[in-house]
Chain A
């Protein structure tokens, strides 16, 4: 059994006690300690900036041309915090409870409680940095609701919350760059981890402009490299999001936890054709006001506005009256798939459902009529007023929809379908966010720790910033306090030489295959296997087939991929090839993990395990654990961390 090193004491005191007794590093020693931060999304930027402020020497890496462009920038809807500004009964405990329940009782209580505790500090920090959150007329911060909760605790900046939070963290980071505490390496990709005497001591990074391999030493290494949703090829992740850094450390001994826990988001713009390169999310916040429906008749080809009210099936409101359109993501996605599979889907592909704003426009229009004391106005005016309100709240999302589809969502309901969005699984970490390799930490979406089998909306931004601003500054000190006598290790140390050699051999091997098929074509094929057999619904039989197919694909890739261009130049195809090669290996592990977990929970839905009305059927007796996989040669060994619920009593999740 794996030990997560959870501090003793009652749940609500663990973090306070930990902070009170953790080892500290004095300022003079901090200046001598070097930390490598790979990734500058919310988790990485906030960590690098905070550690720089504390006086450590930080080196930060990202593959984009600037830290401000990390995938976090694309987050739309919002960030949760238990501020209870709305006085609607929110509290640290309730945020903690909602997250554990939302995760279908597969997350670690102690981590989640800490997350809920620091959530309020995040909002304060961001406001102080100048993050322009939405405000009410009284000048105070505004909140909205998100799925899986009955309180309003989500802070937002129109549909650009991730952008504004990341710009805040990025500016803090750039301030440290100016002060000389952080050195930034953009357009660099980590391709190897360096381990010396059992401890992470550096990385090999590839300069993506020149193709050169560089050696970088650090007393500790932090991976903040995001999630692996692009294993599915089509996802809402940015094109460059990858598993490479996490996979390299996995190959060197870091355990990979719950890889099959992936999140399929219910509201995305449907696939339009084979040319599709990525999918676009329509924020969950749209479910606040939008109503989801399909025609009550199968294969109804009428235009949506011609289908009368009584011939529509608002299936979420029907099946889940208590939460309605705001059920958690896994539930909403499966319900959409169920309707489409049963023949009620809409649009040309029939793989879509409607998200309708007509009712919300009327409701807001009427509210404005009375708010502005207009007396009784025409129905056109009400509609116009309502559209104005909807525009203010969701305008950029509506624009985005129109740009992609060419349809005006103020006039016709949007068509949406579930798409891959987030990965709950990731590198296994203990309470201190340390992986199974000493000195190697994982933060943000790259780790597995807080969301169990399903993440609630607006909780990833919270977790990334919690890890970076408020957790790692304490827990890393506990490790580094023991490292003050370790001098910088010169990068001509044999371990660096060896790691660089490995990286270089692999790159050479890839480019010299000179086969016939493009990297992209392999990625597409991998994505199709994983989506069909390890996506929204899984079965033992399908997973076994998928494993065989992925293995065969791997062989084919390594004998027939064609990579144009050279090594010592900017070569995006080569970068992509390395990432796809890692995704293929991860794909196999995901299927293995899904096959091993003979239950349904959260985003992991095994067709064999469901209740009579089609809900996920957990098996707490046998599967209440984190599956942490260790790579051995080219195979995997399973380790388990058992989950002990001291406070929350697991029950069947009900949103009815």
Chain B
């Protein structure tokens, strides 16, 4: 792998807090190594800003290895940037070349208000989980782990859906800011497992109700969510969600 160094221009969204208006500012960042991660490049810029008496760009991040779901930028119009199946923190600078101008914005959705600069609040997702994204089993109530064999295929599908990191890129990618991919991933994960069976119907109904209440839009069927999802959660989950919802509402009457 050939490494190189580049000079970049960054156009970054700056916003003091939820109440103030935001705007773009442009910065030069020099001598960026192709080996850096995108966030390391922002670190370098922030160190420069602080040294010059300015204020660093606020952004969310924690694990920096693509699993916590905390990082959340829209880079050149794409949530988590240009690489497929990759979070912002895993994006590396070899995706860019010398002289590039990169635009960086927060995830935008009514249900994700901006806190500062590139940071948004995604607590709506927690409230959707509170509405039913769990299996009701108190500590100590469990039977032996092998008491109930689960077909490998089903277990694998449940796992694939459970890989969602709750980042919200699907919402940011959707022109309606729909949270269907996120909700469908959780509904699928639990509906595919025998342990999830008893609460299957009320779960899907309650989670959808909460999703609507939070102000997420409806599904556009354009699959922008799947294209931008860093964990490549499949839109087949949305089809399953729709079936689950239909089943639950029909039989409830």
Contacts and interface: CB of A to CB of B under 8 A. Distances in A.
B43 A277 contact: yes
A73 B134 contact: no
A494 interface: no
**Leading 5 A-B pairs by shortest Cβ distance:** A139-B149, A171-B134, A128-B142, A132-B159, A124-B142
Contacts of B133: 171, 174
Given A71-B62, A140-B149, A65 B55 contact: no
Contact of A570 (B17, B47, B61, B158): B17
B139 A473 contact: yes
6 contacts: A65-B60, A136-B152, A141-B146, A172-B137, A240-B62, A277-B39
Given A66-B166, A178-B130, A400-B66, 9 more contacts: A66-B123, A73-B63, A124-B144, A130-B134, A140-B149, A160-B67, A399-B85, A470-B140, A570-B58
Contacts of B149: 135, 138-140
A44 B90 CA distance: 27
A343 B63 CA distance: 33
Contacts of A125: 137, 139-140, 142
Contact of A121 (B33, B138, B142, B189): B142
B155 interface: yes
Interface in B94-139: 94, 115-116, 119, 121-123, 125-126, 129-131, 133-139
A154 interface: no
A175 B65 contact: no
Nearest to B64: A278
Given A66-B122, A128-B137, A167 B150 contact: no
A238 B131 CA distance: 29
B142 A403 contact: no
A388 interface: no
Given A123-B145, A171-B129, A174-B126, A73 B92 contact: no
A167 B185 CA distance: 13
A74 B41 CA distance: 22
Contacts of A238: 62-64, 68
B52 to A, nearest CB: 10
Which interface class (under 10, 10 to 19, 20 to 34, 35 or more) fits B? 35 or more
B178 interface: no
Contacts, number: 221
B63 A74 contact: yes
A521 B44 CA distance: 11
A68 B69 contact: yes
Nearest to B2: A406
Interface of B: 1, 16-17, 33, 35-37, 39-41, 43-44, 47, 49-51, 53-56, 58, 60-70, 83, 85-86, 90, 92, 94, 115-116, 119, 121-123, 125-126, 129-131, 133-146, 148-152, 155, 158-159, 162-163, 165-166, 189-190, 193, 195-196
A127 B194 CA distance: 10
B196 to A, nearest CB: 6
Interface in A122-180: 123-130, 132-141, 157-158, 160, 162-164, 167, 170-172, 174-175, 177-178
Given A130-B195, A139-B150, A167-B162, A520 B62 contact: no
Given A66-B166, A68-B166, A71-B62, A174 B134 contact: yes
A272 interface: yes
Contacts of B151: 139
B139 to A, nearest CB: 4
B130 A175 contact: yes
A573 interface: yes
Interface stretch (A331-339, A359-367, A561-569): A561-569
Contact of B155 (A132, A160, A569): A132
Interface residues of A, number: 82
A275 interface: yes
Interface in A565-602: 565, 569-570, 572-573
A138 B155 CA distance: 11
A400 B139 CA distance: 34
Contact of A129 (B86, B134, B152): B134
A276 interface: yes
Nearest to B57: A572
B72 to A, nearest CB: 9
A265 B141 CA distance: 36
A74 B56 contact: no
Given A73-B68, A141-B145, A572-B56, A65 B122 contact: yes
Contact of A175 (B50, B94, B136): B136
A64 interface: yes
A522 B66 CA distance: 27
Contacts of B17: 569-570
Interface in A85-125: 85, 121, 123-125
